[in-house]
Amino acid sequence: TAAEALNKLGVYQTNTAYFDTILVKADAQKVKAAAEKNEVNFFYVDADTISISFNETTSIADINQIIAIFAEALGKEIFEGKGNCVACHQVDQKVIGPSIQEIAKIYKDKNGNMVNFLKGESEAIVDPSQFAVMQANLEITKTFTDEELKAVEAFINSHLK
């Protein structure tokens, strides 16, 4: 279900009785930014509560898009926060490491597994010459849960052109 998939991202349903609408706890401002970018509307009850409604026309693709929006918002928070990725990576320009857009494009083109790389389980494919610089941050990303790593990946992939 959508609620179970959101739970895996650390987004929890708060209403115990429901028919077609669930309430979830998440940073409404961050989710709203990702939702608007994807032209999806939610009802923002307050700064930490989001209402999501479903009906008979809601498809699996719609549910997957909703999950992707929450993953993107969580990934951005991790990318800019505890991952400290933003210190070396910007959206559209190389700073110390390659741009987010370049990372997303290369992983897509080479069908790479970004989560495995961030776990330290695969080789660098974007800019192997920068791998030594990335080592310190890999020690951080190795401590992330699979859900957090997938959220970071969703955030990076949201910048594909």
74-93 pLDDT, tens per residue? 999 999 999 889 999 999 99
Q: Pick from 39, 95, 28: which is nearest to 62 by CA?
A: 39
Span 44-57, average pLDDT: 96
Span 10-30, average pLDDT: 92
Band of residue 5 on the pLDDT scale cut at 50, 70, 90 = confident
Span 136-147, average pLDDT: 91
pLDDT number for residue 45? 97
CA-to-CA distance for 82 and 141, rounded, in angstroms? 9
First-last CA distance in the chain: 30
CA-to-CA distance for 131 and 97, rounded, in angstroms? 9
The DSSP code for 33 is: H
Band of residue 143 on the pLDDT scale cut at 50, 70, 90 = very high
Band of residue 8 on the pLDDT scale cut at 50, 70, 90 = confident
When the pLDDT of each residue in the chain is averaged and rounded to a whole number, the result is 92
pLDDT number for residue 28? 95
Q: Pick from 83, 102, 78: which is nearest to 91 by CA?
A: 102
